[in-house]
Amino acid sequence: MNLLREADAAFEAHDLDRAFVLYRDAAKAAEKAKDHSSMTEARAQLARCLLKQGKMEKGRTWLERAAATADEGQPLGWARYQGVVGRFEWHENRLEAASGTFARLFEYCKAHDLAERAVDAANMMTIVAPPEAQIEWAHKAIAEAEGRGLTRSLAMIWNNLGWTLEGLGRHEESLEALLRAREYHHQVSGELAKLIADWSVGHAHRMAGHLDQAQDWLRRTFEWAQRRLEVDPTNDVKEWLAQCHWELGELAAARSQRDAARDHLRKARHLLVETKVEDWGPDQLAKLDARLAEL
């Protein structure tokens, strides 16, 4: 369905309001045409849009409507529905259930030659599975994506792998993965995603103890974020300028430059408050405040 593809394009561009309208129109058109597979896809994506906006209960209503038409014999509709089921389980912190859903979905998508959806399922396993299993699933996702030339997926998978490795304290490997993610982001992603990829490399250098390299990466990224804010003063850009300040503050602290560290962290806090971080990231604000208190 053309409407479904148009809705997917809006969703991938993070225009959730437009995507919601288009998915709703796609669901109505599919219902009229008695196309149950497309109806399932559109309804599942309506649920996913609402989930991404923090409206889980409203999303659950659409997911139940998708369940009413989901049929394992219709691969496109079934795969899309199961992908959203797994994401609801993830957000409900039912990680064992989500792991089971995405592992089964990976095998189902491979069996039905749905390469992009198999990669998506494996990539979700890099989030919901236990940490050591996440690494195994990341390499499954990478192999699948490389075999199909799915460059955009590779940016996301290498990024997730980098952060998993950091959580395990494997900082040199994390840096390698985030450098690979950056390589792919600079091929396929928009400016903000490229900026975040560069920030991630700077952060990874700091975590690996490469303070001079971290300084070079983070200073360039900080200046880029400042320029970006001048032409695009959105909360997303403010958030990442704040993250640059925070990283530069941590770098200054690592060099015992406590005044400079406090100055950067205060500027980070000011910018995050402007984005209403207390609504979308109260844990992050608490972490920053605790770090300021330490300094």
Half-sphere exposure of 226 (CA within 13 A, CB side): 10
3-state helix, strand, coil in the chain (%, to 5): 85, 0, 15
pLDDT value for 230: 96
Distance CA 242, CA 247 (A): 9
Task: Going residue by residue through the chain, which has 295 residues, state the pLDDT in tens, using 9 for 90 and above.
Answer: 589 999 999 998 889 999 999 999 999 999 999 999 999 999 999 999 999 998 999 999 999 999 999 999 999 999 999 999 999 999 999 999 999 999 999 999 999 999 999 999 999 999 999 988 999 999 999 999 999 889 889 999 999 999 999 999 999 999 999 999 999 999 999 999 999 999 999 999 999 999 999 999 999 999 999 999 999 999 999 999 999 999 999 999 999 999 999 999 999 999 999 999 998 889 999 999 999 999 9
Model pLDDT, residue 1: 57
Letter string b/e over residues 33-64, b meaning 16 or more CB atoms within 10 A of that residue's CB = eebbbbbbbbbbbbbbbbbbeeeeeebeebbe
Question: CATH topology for 201-295?
Answer: 1.25.40
Q: Are 1 and 30 in contact (CB under 8 A)?
A: yes
